[in-house]
Structure 1
Amino acid sequence: MAEHTAPGAAARELEDGRLLKELETIHRTRHETLLHGSDEALATHTQRLKELEEEYLRRHPQRATTPGRTRTGARARTAGEN
């Protein structure tokens, strides 16, 4: 079993819906934690974020990507703005 020291259930133990819900929550709280959280809170948040994202990517290695969210798509969008 993967090491787990962040609060909450280990990411590998979460069913898909719960994993997505936890990812939504942690992304929503990231900015406030960065700006106003203690060093310990930020470190814990970062560790949990990493754990959840790695688990999502492990489960969905072939996830769909939006062309505009790729490096090539971003370059094309920027070129069109000039």
Structure 2
Amino acid sequence: MQLREDVSLVDTDYGKVLLDGGTGEYWELNPTGSLVLTGLLAGRPAGEIAATLCAAFDVDGDRATADVTALLTALRDARLVRP
């Protein structure tokens, strides 16, 4: 997965911010969302990212998998990413 060319990604003290250069809209990601996005952009499988969430944030597997899926769906729905 890749961000669209006109989407910028910036690290912040709290996580990351995505800026859609086409619309001017931005999305703030907390540390959990930042970890998920970093994994997705690196091409890691969703299950592997969920396992990392479990270890990093003491969350159960079902919740971690749901969080990864929810962020991926939101990124696609907002048209911030390319397949």
Higher fraction of strand: 2
Query: Same-fold call, TM > 0.5?
Result: no
TM-score (normalizing by structure 2): 0.35
TM-score (normalizing by structure 1): 0.35
Structure (1 or 2) with the larger CA radius of gyration: 1
